[in-house]
Amino acid sequence: MSSTDRGAGPKRLVVLISGSGTNLQTLIDATRQGSINGRIVAVISNKPGVRGLERAQSADIPALTVDHRDFQRREDFDAALAEQIESHRADLVILAGFMRILTPGFVNRFAGRMMNIHPSLLPRYPGLDTHRRAIDAGDREAGATVHFVTEELDGGPAIVQARVPIHPDDTPATLAARVLEKEHLIYPYAVKLFCEGRLGLTGQGATLDGTLLPRTGLAYLDP
Ligand code: GRF
């Protein structure tokens, strides 16, 4: 049985965050409106007191903190995190501004059922400071990518990607705001596809309805 065919009911979603949680909010809204056949069963932050936890609480979603500073070894933090995720019987783990690098053991445990959003046109600019790097390189376009998480940092197969123009007077902050608007469209879209059982992860890449997606994922066009 693959990760995407565990019965037809709503999928159980666990969202991992580290901060403000605007992407989390769009997922809360989309699940509430019924446009995603899934339910967020827990939100977990590695940092206490962040805004995203308040968003979860306001929506009556269990909001937990697994503070990475309480663990000496990365493996121990990941084990505690995995235990929480499993205890909520997650079908899908959604990284939404989660700023910790995960160990290979953790990543492999959730292979094909963990996704991340990254604020660049992957494979360009994995890692941090993506907007400044795109501006400094003289790029004309930036964007965001939802991808399956694999051992390679920001390197897993892309699911969907949206593009925005870079304007001559852009700063990293103005560009980030333009990209974030797209993030708020493509993340609910990717999660919706997953919850419909339409996405898969194979050795060759991500699939939609069994067909291999291009390396940069589906090109998201505004509705
Ligand atoms: C987003 O830009 C996301 O792509 C990046 O971190 C930011 C999180 O924003 N990984 P938010 O917490 O969802 O508001």
Q: Where are the alpha helices (DSSP H) in the chain?
A: 22-33, 51-58, 74-87, 104-109, 130-136, 172-195
pLDDT of residue 8: 72
pLDDT tens readout for residues 78-103 = 999 999 999 999 999 999 999 999 99
Does residue 117's CB lie within 6 angstroms of at least one atom of ligand 1?
Answer: yes
CA 137–ligand 1 middle distance (angstroms): 22
Using a 6 Å cutoff on CB, does residue 18 contact ligand 1? no
Give the pLDDT of residue 223. Answer: 72
Q: Ligand 1 pocket test: which of 128, 180, 185 has the largest number of ligand atoms within 8 Å of its C-beta?
A: 180
pTM of the predicted model as reported, rounded to 2 decimal places? 0.95
Q: Say yes or no to pLDDT of 62 above 90.
A: yes
**Which domains are seen in the chain, by residue range?**
3-219 (3.40.50.170)
Answer yes or no: is the C-beta of 112 below 6 A from any ligand 1 atom.
Answer: no
Confidence of residue 222 (pLDDT cuts 50, 70, 90): confident
> 149-195, pLDDT tens digit by residue?
999 999 999 999 999 999 999 999 999 999 999 999 999 999 999 99
pLDDT of amino acid 189: 98
**Ligand 1 atom index nearest CA of 179:** 2
Is the Cβ–Cβ distance between 191 and 27 less than 8 Å? yes
**Atom number in ligand 1 closest to CA 180:** 2
CA 53 → CA 9, 181, 199, distances in Å? 26, 21, 28
3-state SS, 80-139, equals HHHHHHHHCCCCEEEECCCCCCCCHHHHHHCCCCEEEEECCCCCCCCCCCHHHHHHHCCC
Q: Is 180 near ligand 1, meaning CB less than 6 Å away? A: yes
The tokens for 12 are 């159980």
Span 2-46, pLDDT tens digits: 444 456 789 999 999 999 999 999 999 999 999 999 999 999 999
Q: Decide whether any atom of ligand 1 lies within 6 Å of the 131 Cβ.
A: no
* Ligand 1 atom at shortest distance from the alpha carbon of 176: 2
Index of the ligand 1 atom closest to the CA of residue 17: 12
One-letter amino acid of 157: P
131 is catalytic: no
